[in-house]
Amino acid sequence: MGDAVLTREILAALAAAGEFPIEAEEFLPFASSDHGSFSDAGVSAVTITSRDDAAIHTSEDDLARISLEALATMLEIVDVVLEELAVWELTAVR
């Protein structure tokens, strides 16, 4: 979820790399996470989340609740996105 333009570019990169179980959403107006300070400063930001844990940011939020499968999928997504961003940056420099 995140900036609409950046999210579209990320989804295009993920589509070219193969199928990932990911859906685009916009940040909720009251959402607060690491993206907040970037968005507030006008810097495009996205958050990749599994959205499957009702205990997040509660007293029950601990390491035992981490889904290794969801974490592996998110890391694969981040890998593709970072690789694509590096290509975009190299193309912009040329």
Residues 6+ apart with CB under 8 A from 23: none
Which residues span the domain enclosing 48?
4-93
Residue 27 to residue 39: CA distance in whole angstroms? 10
On the CB side of 33, how many CA atoms lie within 13 Å of its CA? 14
Its pTM stands at 0.68
Domain count, the chain: 1
- 58-86 pLDDT tens trace: 888 888 888 898 889 889 888 988 888 77
- 40-64 pLDDT tens trace: 888 888 888 777 677 777 888 888 8
Residue 43 to residue 91: CA distance in whole angstroms? 20
